[in-house]
């Protein structure tokens, strides 16, 4: 009995579910709205308005399947929306936003390294054995500081000999001058012939030349003597190679190398897309990997590009009075190229014309106008672009479906 009761309940539920489903709708896909929808009961009866369907409809439990002739089932949803929006004008509908130019500081970031402005070798102007080295590696020196002293050898004696020769020449000059004066006095009194003046004049000139030659010999001897002291010609830090006391230093070889750290240079590369904006004297901020930050100015821009990178080498000079910025440190420079009117627009509004030129589609006098642009910077809030009019209506929705010169139905949304 219990089994019969359970089967009876199940059969009753099945009948009720079938009756409920019979009042529903069968949808056959692919036929469009209103074309593939039929009552399930009509499928069971084999006709659209059978007796069961009629009784259910009169009872108000049968679904209504009125056909909507206003919808073209062959159109996509996007095409239907376009038809609805442009039905009144017959034009392509687009959305625009008005953007107004703002002052924008154009900055170019360069990667590079620091470099000493000069590395100067303090070379010997004469050969000799090194007597004393007065500096050590890493020592800071100023202009005129003594670096090395060579063995004087016979140079001191040469100076003394030259000075003695000068004294002798000066004595000869004094004697020749006295003879000239005496001869002149005798000739004025008629006690000496007129042709006697020629001999004393020649003797006086020879004596004067002897003094000049002796003075030159003294200067040469003293200069040679001074060359035994090698002094710094520039201020900086002493680096290798550094000579060793007791070694023979040939003429032209360095006693020490001085690296000039003030001012320091930043060496970087300007991209070819930005080289037109670059010019001498621009302000820059250099930040090293060690966290040092210093301001400088652009002092050099190469006239030719690097064949490998197609970028232009540039130098930025920065002060380094304490020598804290070292040579060869990786650094980044931000160069201020000046201020220009720019627009902050969404990146999604960018498009390409038929020739692949990057720009934006704008609306002017009801028609589309493509305007090429140049990207100045890409930020989270959008892209800063150059090349647009001061105020411009940019198409932000539908720009991919219009062409340059096409008349459109433009709706301006919230301006910025």
Residue-level pLDDT at 21:
54
CA distances from 101 to 120, 216, 369, 391 (A): 51, 75, 18, 6
In eight-state DSSP terms, residue 366 is: T
Residue-level pLDDT at 194:
74
Torsion of CA 36, 40, 43, 47, to 10 degrees: -90
Q: What is the pLDDT of residues 52-95, one digit of tens each?
A: 666 656 665 555 555 555 555 555 665 566 556 555 556 888 99
Residue-level pLDDT at 69:
55
Between 193 and 265, whose confidence is greater?
265
Residue-level pLDDT at 326:
87
Which range in 67-76, 79-88, 255-264, 310-319 is most confidently predicted, on average pLDDT? 310-319
- In this predicted structure, the answer to whether residue 285 has a pLDDT above a threshold of 90 is yes
Q: What's the pLDDT band for 416 if we cut at 50, 70, 90?
A: very low
Residue-level pLDDT at 30:
47
Query: Rounded to the nearest 5°, which phi and psi values hold at 319?
Result: -70, 145
Alpha-carbon gap, residue 74 to 83, rounded angstroms:
13
Mean pLDDT of 216-233: 85
Q: Quick one: residue 158, left, alpha or beta (phi over 0 = left, psi -120 to 50 = alpha)?
A: alpha
Mean pLDDT of 126-154: 87
Q: Two tokens at 312? A: 């232009």
List b or e across 59-83, with b for residues whose CB sees 16 or more CB atoms inside 10 angstroms: eeebeeeeeeeeeeeeeeeeeeebe
Other C-beta atoms closer than 10 Å to the C-beta of 288 total: 18
Q: Under a CB-based contact definition with an 8 Å cutoff, are residues 228 and 125 in contact?
A: no
């Amino acid at each position: 009995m219990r089994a019969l009761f359970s089967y009876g309940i199940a059969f009753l539920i099945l009948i009720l579910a079938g009756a409920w489903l019979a009042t529903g709708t069968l949808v056959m896909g692919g036929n469009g709205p209103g074309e593939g929808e039929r009552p399930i009961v009509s499928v069971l009866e084999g006709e659209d308005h059978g007796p069961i369907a009629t009784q259910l409809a009169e009872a108000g439990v049968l679904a209504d399947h009125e056909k909507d002739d206003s919808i073209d089932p062959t159109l996509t949803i996007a095409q239907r929306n376009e038809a609805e929006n442009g039905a009144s004008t017959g034009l392509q509908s687009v959305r625009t936003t008005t953007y107004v130019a703002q002052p924008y500081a154009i900055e170019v970031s360069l990667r590079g390294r620091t470099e000493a402005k000069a590395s100067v070798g303090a070379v010997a102007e004469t050969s000799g054995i090194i007597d004393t080295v007065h500096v050590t590696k890493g020592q800071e020196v100023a202009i005129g500081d003594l670096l090395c002293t060579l063995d004087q050898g016979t140079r001191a004696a040469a100076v003394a000999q030259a000075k003695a020769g000068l004294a002798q020449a000066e004595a000869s000059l004094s004697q020749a001058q006295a003879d000239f004066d005496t001869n002149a006095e005798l000739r004025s009194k008629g006690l000496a012939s007129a042709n006697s003046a020629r001999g004393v004049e020649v003797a006086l000139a020879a004596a004067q030349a002897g003094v000049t030659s002796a003075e030159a010999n003294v200067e040469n001897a003293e200069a040679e003597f001074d060359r035994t002291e090698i002094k710094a010609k520039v201020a900086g830090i002493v680096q290798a190679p550094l000579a060793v006391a007791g070694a023979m230093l040939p003429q032209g070889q360095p006693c020490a190398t001085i690296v000039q750290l003030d001012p320091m240079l930043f060496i970087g590369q300007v991209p070819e897309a930005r080289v037109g904006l670059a010019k001498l004297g621009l302000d820059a901020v250099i930040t090293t990997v060690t966290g040092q930050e210093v301001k400088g100015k652009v002092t050099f821009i190469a006239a030719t590009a690097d064949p490998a990178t197609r970028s232009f080498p540039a130098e930025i000079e920065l002060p380094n009075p304490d020598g804290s910025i070292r040579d060869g440190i990786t650094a980044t420079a931000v160069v201020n190229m000046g201020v220009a009117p720019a627009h902050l627009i969404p990146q999604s509004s960018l498009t390409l014309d038929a020739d692949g030129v990057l720009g934006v589609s704008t609306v002017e006098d009801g028609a589309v106008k493509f305007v090429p642009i140049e990207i100045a910077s890409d930020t989270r809030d959008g892209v800063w672009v150059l090349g647009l009019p001061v105020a411009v209506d940019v198409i932000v929705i539908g720009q991919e479906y219009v062409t340059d010169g096409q008349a459109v139905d433009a709706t301006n949304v919230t301006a910025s």
